[in-house]
Structure 1
Amino acid sequence: MKNIGILLFLVFIIQSCKNSAQKIAVDGAQETVNAENRYVQKDSGYAKIETDEEKIRDAEIAGSLSSKFDDDTIPDHFKIVKNEDEIVQSFLSANLSAIKREVNINILNNSILYNREGVYYWTFFKFINDKILEIRVEYPDQQSLPNISGERKDLVEKIKYRFNVENRRIQIIGYDLSYRKDAIFITKSINFITGKYIVSRKEKGKNDVITDGWSAEFENNIYSEDWNLPFLRDKIFWVGNETEPS
């Protein structure tokens, strides 16, 4: 009888652990917990949720963080919200106390722009010294259709934002893009305050190729509402394209 009692107690403990592992804490993504190939974690300040490949299309890529982002002392709340649009599959909802309203920042699926076929992606965001918001988008290496200039894989995008206290709008201040094209690694960086950009091409066994430039259109003039497919397709896509192999 004593052994049966011990056995029942162990079964109860195992079941309790199993149930707790299936509770996923989204708010702030403070810890990592496994639950049937699905987990939430805080990775170097980023809030993220990942799922297995079969669930990712329907799973909400979500996280929430708070920061004194605008020009007052009240914390502002940010969270990633899933969207049903093919291009804007999710957006970052920002509840700003300084303007007393919610602002949505589009997170574009640019794999379509670079490969003609949408692929899955991870979305992360973090704050730098409370005042700079950085959204990071990573595209996994999956088979997709090449476009006219060849397939680009392992895309990683970083978009930096700040609150412009003069016009009380969310301004984009920087954009970084990196990707692989065959055995060549390309990085692009645009400073949307100065309008300057730099593009580098690295290939094993060859000297790095670097080009830079300036655009008046990019100088201190890009805001969150400007970040749409036409702008990326017609402007950003072509920055430094002469650096790519023919």
Structure 2
Amino acid sequence: MKRGTKKNLFKGRQFTAEIILWAVHWYLQFPISYRDLECMLADRGVQVDHTTLFRWVQAYAPEIEKRIRPHLRMTNSSWRVDETYIRVEGKWVYLYRAVDAAGQSIDFLLSCRRHAAAARRFFRKALGQPHTVNPRTITVDKNAAYPTAARNMKRAGELWRFAKLRQVKFLNNIVEQDHRRIKRLVRPELGFKSFATASRTIAGYEAMAMIRKEQVVCAPAGDMGAQRDFIAALFGTAA
């Protein structure tokens, strides 16, 4: 990482990188609102407005998710894919998510539509991550869009031609249970105000989930200090 990265990312901020990353980590880790976090920080002598906390999360949550990817353990080749619903601008949109057979997070995609094109975009995004492999099996629900997307991708050489698509709903309990974490984190804010806001925030939620699932070797799930130090190291800052 270049020495100038830290200055560029935190330039102009009233607070230190340590405090900013500390606050962002807390918000993404626990089901709290920005106003709750404002009170928690005030209790620790840090006076910062909830609107500033919102801007911090929007700026650094997707950056954490991007920087964590190269440090993740490789997922296995059995994918469990499903969609859940997130409220954005007062409307329900689709959140595509995937985990492997061991419950490790693979990727996510927010989409206004639930069709073959969206499924294909999600598969492409997931396949492009450094911690994923071309799946041997992809377990999905009965949504007719998935077979269409898989056929088109195999025809285009984007998906392994021997990959098996299984439309068996009960086998997707792993990813359906994993959706509950996202729902719990979203609930305090009563939905998102924009599509971009939702996507950036969820990127941070997913990054914290990967840490909790011990997908990062140097950040054990139960060691908050190690997690804090790991996030600080991603940005070249001293925790």
**Structure index of larger Rg:** 1
The structure, 1 or 2, with the larger RCO (C-alpha pairs under 8 Å, 6+ apart) is: 2
Larger helix percent: 2
Band of TM-score, shorter chain: under 0.3
* TM-score in terms of structure 2 length: 0.27
Larger strand percent: 1
* TM-score in terms of structure 1 length: 0.26
